[in-house]
Chain A
């Protein structure tokens, strides 16, 4: 099979870019821990209200500037509806759904994860600056999906 010299060059260039992109992502993943949220932890959605720590959703201080926030997502709200943390806090979110598929996203941050009934999703973020952040459901969950949001206040 004849492949034109320019095409060989072009495909080599394409393969090199491909290799570079994969290498960058692999180094970021292995070296810096930049991986998509992939928590593998199950929960019975019918017993969320009895399962600690989701029986008391909310914020827990676990160290200096370190917090864990437990959320229950259900149509059409998040519990807790608001949390407040000091600027510079590293917050690890744990979210689970008691009904349908939801999304858990804080625009303008890297917080974005799907919430599937039966699983506990987890994602973490360091809130450097003060401000009020919108936390919203970004997967269609029903007729009032657009009203499903909460807030994260950073002081």
Chain B
């Protein structure tokens, strides 16, 4: 392994010149979407706590669809495409064209606006899972497909840069930030093939060109995509945990090789696990479901590796400063830096997210929590806490560096993290609690005609709504700080670019096999095929019923 060779002069930092506005645009789009999504989140919490009743002209389920689509599909995706673009550009300096990435952004934006307007107009109240045979307007499916297609342009740009690097540096490892980016995007491409196949079934059907769809098949294709979607968020957060968080206290990446191994494990284990979302579905034998249980538990490997690496990073950096002992190290960490506190509080929440995830994945145990508020609590304590807090924290570093401005209202930035954390603890724990009492998710009225069991759900849902207010205030602070940073225009031209943490050289050499992404991608595809060929064949063989579309809202 030699050192990298740059055909272009690295002193001329073209990655900044051309990439800054592009990345900033991705991140500001995510910020705007997060703000709108949070508003609908508060209304939802209030509805479920019986504080308000949504009017007929903008019913609860329409609002729920907006919230789910904006938060799960749009906010996360725009932030991650921005982040990975930045990581790639920053670590592979070259004279480059950013045209394809801009085109990707444009396609994503057109898709998002189309989908959002279709939902807001009441023509796609199908929730973010859009289970057939609920039939939305074709614009909903078109828009969602464009959102996904746009990400492929961004992925193509990232891959092109890495291929260029490899062509010029055959014997050099791909720079770590570019490696984790391209690994994440490879996973994403494999995963989105599922939802694209589903769209190819749903679009002609929604246009009236085909009479019906195989409901079970579309569900399976959705969840083939749906679980890797959540690992896409986690991988985005991991990029920040491994490479950005250590820079808050002068730390290093614990091990180059183990970081790559964690991402490769996620690439392999993201797709062949989707059936754990369908444990309670008819038409899939329990044996196939068990196969996916085992494969899902495999995620313990990258999770444990990451937990170890992060805490090792903390301890190594603290010891370099002469700080020893658990509580001393905890106190030494920069809790007043929002860019550290966001991801760090996210990590704390993620521990509970992991516990809940084990329950969800535990096969027969899933009947106790499936489609209850527990699940809603689970995805808020994973994506709504760890992932979103990490993104927000990172934005407090990225936005000032990209916009070359000083961070607006740093105290408000810190407040956003603490409000969010406290609110998310209250909200998601209450949701888990309500779920254990049997409260269903996805329902507008929870009284069920005065049922005794339904009465027990009221107190936790009130707690969840109040927690949600704190989270939304945190989001509001973030939106104010992020927009204020740009529009108050307090320029700081000498702001350094956000650099990624250096790798700890004590960890030794990285085996070249870890850098072989073509091989890992091929293995990931093989695993996905092996995990799905059986249940898919079972569905296709057993079942020929094609459901006509229905608009039941």
**Residues of A participating in the B interface, judged by any CB pair closer than 8 Å:** 1-4, 6-7, 10-11, 13-15, 17-18, 21-22, 25-26, 28-29, 34-42, 44-45, 75, 99-101, 103, 105, 107-108, 110-123, 132-134, 136, 138-143, 145-147, 149
B127: chain A residues at CB < 8 Å are 140
6 A-B pairs closest in CB distance: A107-B438, A142-B552, A118-B545, A2-B508, A14-B304, A119-B282
Interchain nearest-CB distance for A125 vs B (Å): 10
Q: Which chain B residues in 157-211 approach chain A with CB under 8 Å?
A: none
B363: chain A residues at CB < 8 Å are 25, 28-29, 34-36
**Closest A residue, CB atoms, query B372:** A138
Measured between alpha carbons, how far is A18 from B201 in the docked complex, in Å? 38
B442: chain A residues at CB < 8 Å are 138-140, 145
B294: chain A residues at CB < 8 Å are 22
Query: Is the CB of B58 closer than 8 A to any CB of chain A?
Result: no
Measured between alpha carbons, how far is A98 from B131 in the docked complex, in Å? 15
Are the CB atoms of B507 and A2 closer together than 8 Å? Answer: yes
Beta-carbon contacts of B433-446 to A below 8 Å, as 1s and 0s?
00001111111111
Are the CB atoms of B61 and A143 closer together than 8 Å? Answer: yes
Are the CB atoms of B552 and A114 closer together than 8 Å? Answer: no
Are the CB atoms of A120 and B282 closer together than 8 Å? Answer: yes
Measured between alpha carbons, how far is A29 from B289 in the docked complex, in Å? 12
Are the CB atoms of B283 and A116 closer together than 8 Å? Answer: yes
Are the CB atoms of B371 and A99 closer together than 8 Å? Answer: no
Given A40-B542, A146-B445, check contact A121 B453 (CB 8 Å): no
Query: Is the CB of B511 closer than 8 A to any CB of chain A?
Result: yes
Interchain nearest-CB distance for B254 vs A (Å): 9
Measured between alpha carbons, how far is A3 from B127 in the docked complex, in Å? 45
Measured between alpha carbons, how far is A50 from B281 in the docked complex, in Å? 24
**Closest A residue, CB atoms, query B506:** A2
A105: chain B residues at CB < 8 Å are 370-372, 438, 440
Are the CB atoms of A141 and B289 closer together than 8 Å? Answer: no
Are the CB atoms of A36 and B289 closer together than 8 Å? Answer: yes
Are the CB atoms of B371 and A103 closer together than 8 Å? Answer: yes
Measured between alpha carbons, how far is A35 from B290 in the docked complex, in Å? 9
**Closest B residue, CB atoms, query A1:** B257
**Closest B residue, CB atoms, query A76:** B552
**Closest A residue, CB atoms, query B257:** A1
Given A38-B284, A40-B284, check contact A143 B553 (CB 8 Å): yes
Q: Which chain B residues in 353-384 approach chain A with CB under 8 Å?
A: 358, 362-364, 366-368, 370-372
Tell me which of A15, A17, A108 has the highest count of chain B C-beta atoms within 10 A of its own C-beta: A108
Q: Which chain B residues in 79-125 approach chain A with CB under 8 Å?
A: 125
**Closest A residue, CB atoms, query B511:** A1
Given A114-B280, A116-B215, A143-B553, check contact A29 B358 (CB 8 Å): no
Interchain nearest-CB distance for A135 vs B (Å): 10
Measured between alpha carbons, how far is A60 from B553 in the docked complex, in Å? 34
**Closest B residue, CB atoms, query A112:** B367
- Grouping DSSP codes into helix (H, G, I), strand (E, B) and loop, the A interface class, with mixed when no group exceeds half, is mixed
Query: Is the CB of B543 closer than 8 A to any CB of chain A?
Result: yes
Pick from B298, B362, B440, B509: contact of A136, CB under 8 Å: B440
Are the CB atoms of A36 and B453 closer together than 8 Å? Answer: no
Query: Can you name 8 A-B residue pairings with CB atoms under 8 Å?
Result: A14-B301, A15-B300, A37-B280, A38-B282, A118-B543, A119-B282, A138-B370, A139-B371
Interchain nearest-CB distance for B349 vs A (Å): 20
Given A4-B312, A116-B215, check contact A143 B59 (CB 8 Å): yes
B372: chain A residues at CB < 8 Å are 105, 107, 138
A40: chain B residues at CB < 8 Å are 282-285, 538, 542
Beta-carbon contacts of B418-451 to A below 8 Å, as 1s and 0s?
0000000000000000000111111111101101
B261: chain A residues at CB < 8 Å are 1
B367: chain A residues at CB < 8 Å are 36-37, 110-113, 123
A14: chain B residues at CB < 8 Å are 300-301, 303-304
**Closest A residue, CB atoms, query B260:** A1
Measured between alpha carbons, how far is A18 from B361 in the docked complex, in Å? 12
Query: Is the CB of B454 closer than 8 A to any CB of chain A?
Result: yes
Query: Is the CB of B293 closer than 8 A to any CB of chain A?
Result: yes
Interchain nearest-CB distance for B341 vs A (Å): 25
Measured between alpha carbons, how far is A1 from B512 in the docked complex, in Å? 10
Measured between alpha carbons, how far is A108 from B300 in the docked complex, in Å? 30
A10: chain B residues at CB < 8 Å are 304, 308
Given A2-B255, A25-B363, A45-B547, 5 more contacts at CB 8 Å?
A: A38-B282, A108-B453, A134-B454, A142-B134, A149-B449
Measured between alpha carbons, how far is A142 from B255 in the docked complex, in Å? 51
Measured between alpha carbons, how far is A11 from B261 in the docked complex, in Å? 13
Are the CB atoms of B283 and A119 closer together than 8 Å? Answer: yes
B308: chain A residues at CB < 8 Å are 6-7, 10-11
Measured between alpha carbons, how far is A122 from B282 in the docked complex, in Å? 8
B131: chain A residues at CB < 8 Å are 100-101, 139-140
Are the CB atoms of B438 and A108 closer together than 8 Å? Answer: yes
Measured between alpha carbons, how far is A38 from B59 in the docked complex, in Å? 34
Are the CB atoms of B279 and A107 closer together than 8 Å? Answer: no
Are the CB atoms of A145 and B61 closer together than 8 Å? Answer: yes
Given A4-B312, A119-B282, check contact A36 B545 (CB 8 Å): no
Pick from B507, B511, B552: contact of A143, CB under 8 Å: B552
A114: chain B residues at CB < 8 Å are 278, 280-282
Measured between alpha carbons, how far is A149 from B215 in the docked complex, in Å? 23
Are the CB atoms of B453 and A107 closer together than 8 Å? Answer: yes
Measured between alpha carbons, how far is A3 from B506 in the docked complex, in Å? 11
Are the CB atoms of B362 and A25 closer together than 8 Å? Answer: yes
Pick from B370, B441, B445: contact of A112, CB under 8 Å: B370
Interchain nearest-CB distance for A119 vs B (Å): 4
Query: Is the CB of B540 closer than 8 A to any CB of chain A?
Result: no
Pick from A3, A34, A41: contact of B258, CB under 8 Å: A3
Interchain nearest-CB distance for A153 vs B (Å): 12
B12: chain A residues at CB < 8 Å are none
Measured between alpha carbons, how far is A132 from B449 in the docked complex, in Å? 13
Interchain nearest-CB distance for B429 vs A (Å): 19
A139: chain B residues at CB < 8 Å are 131, 371, 442
Are the CB atoms of B543 and A42 closer together than 8 Å? Answer: yes
Interchain nearest-CB distance for B62 vs A (Å): 9
